[in-house]
Structure 1
C-alpha cells in the first residue's frame, strides 16, 4: 500500500522540468511550510512513543526507522535542489537507517534546514521541478514537501495504530487535502504514458463532499487527462468522500473512499496509481 516505493540507494524517478505553468492551489508557501512542520511534529511524536522496529502497515516493507530515514533523506534531497545542489549529496535511506545516529534528531534538524532553504530562496530561484502544472521552484518545493511529509505522517500513525488510519485520526485539514488531491491528479497522474490497461476509455469523477471542487479523470490505455470543469454526462465511475478521505485513499493510505459506477475501479487505482522511486 506504499505510495513512494524506494529502492534504498536510488534517486527518485522524475522527469526534470525547469519551466512552469498554471497550478491549481489556493495555499501559500507559508501554508505549505506550516503543514510540513505540523507533519514533522506528528512523526516525531510517534518516534518518541514507539520502537523504531515497529512495522508500518501502509508501507509493508518498512519499519518506523526506515520510514524516518526516508523522510530525512527526502528533506535533504529537496533542500539540496532548492539551493542548486550545493554541498555533498544527501545520504541514502540505507546509509541513514544503518547508522547509529538518532534519526529523530536528524529529522527535526533536516526539516528546519529545508524550511530555511525554501524561505531564503529567491523568488526567481532556478531549480528542478518535476510535475505538470508545477509552480515556480520555491513554491513547488514547499508544496511537494508539505504533501510528502503529510502522507508519511499518516504512515507513522499507521505504525502507532497497527493499521491504516482513518481520515479523522489523521487530522488533515480539508484545504490541505484538496490541495494534495489536486497535486496528485493534475501533477503526478498525467505524466508520461498511462499505466492503465483498459479496453475502452472511461472517466473517474473525484468529488469531495466538503469542498466546492471536483476533478474528472479521462482514462485510456494511452493517457490520463484531467478536467476541472463540470460535466453534463455521468462519468464511468465516481469516487466520493471528504477531502481528507479522498486524499489519503488516492495516496493508498486510507480505506474510506466511496465508489459508485464502474465496478473494480478503486481496486485498479490502488494497483496502478503509485508514485515510485526507482
Structure 2
C-alpha cells in the first residue's frame, strides 16, 4: 500500500468486506507478533477484518526516505495508511510501541471508532521496575550508533542479546510456550531495515508515553495490561485508565509485556467483547 512514499506491506485476515480493525505492532517486531491476536479476533467476530501492517523500517516495510523516524512521523504514517485502507473509518489496536504510534496518530487527527491499547507505554522508560535494564538498553543502542553500519547491524541483531531480551520479557513458566516465544524473537526481532532507522525508532519509544496524548482519546477505549509488565507497572496503567474518561481496563494475571504471545485467548476475548459491544450499540442507535 503506497504510504508517504513507501510501499507499506500489510496482511489482512477475515472477510475483506467486513468492518476494519487496524492492529499496530511493537518495537523491533513486525506483523507476525499480532498475527495470533488478529486471527483470533476474526474467528470470534466474523463481521470484523483485521489489517496488520509492518511499521516503516520493520519487517517488509522500508524506512521512509529522508525523514527522521520519530513519533510524529509514525503518527503521520498511520493516519495516511488508515486513510488508504479504510477511508470510511475503522477501529484501531496498538501494542507496546504501537500504542505510542496510535496515540500520536489520534492526537494528530486520526478518529477511530474504537481504541484498544495492549500493554500501553504509560510510564517514562526509566521509571519502571526494570529501570536498570532500560539503562542497559539505552547504552546498547548508543553503542551501536557509534559503530560502522555492518558492525552496528551485527551488534543489534546479536542472537545472544536477543535471547536475553526475550528471557527477561517472557513470564510464562510453560516450557513449550517459552521456547516458541524465543523462536518468534529469533526469527523476527532483527528484521529492521537499517541500524539508523532502528535507533531513531528506539529513541521515539523511550521519549514518549501514551498519557501525553490521552486528552485526545474521546472514543470508547479499552486498555489491556499484563499484571507483571516490566515496561509499565500496573499502577501507571491504572493512572492511564483514570486519565481517559469512560475507558475500561482489563488486567491479565501472571502475564507481562508479551500479552500478544502469552495470553492470546484472553486478549482476543477482551477485544471481541469490546468490539461486539460497539456493534450492538450501533444497532440500537439505528433502530
Common fold by TM > 0.5? no
Comparing both chains, which one has the higher relative contact order based on Cα–Cα distances under 8 Å and sequence gaps of 6 or more?
1
Query: Could you tell me the TM-score, scaled by structure 1's length?
Result: 0.30
* Structure showing the higher strand proportion among its residues: 2
* Structure showing the higher helix proportion among its residues: 2
Query: Could you tell me the TM-score, scaled by structure 2's length?
Result: 0.29
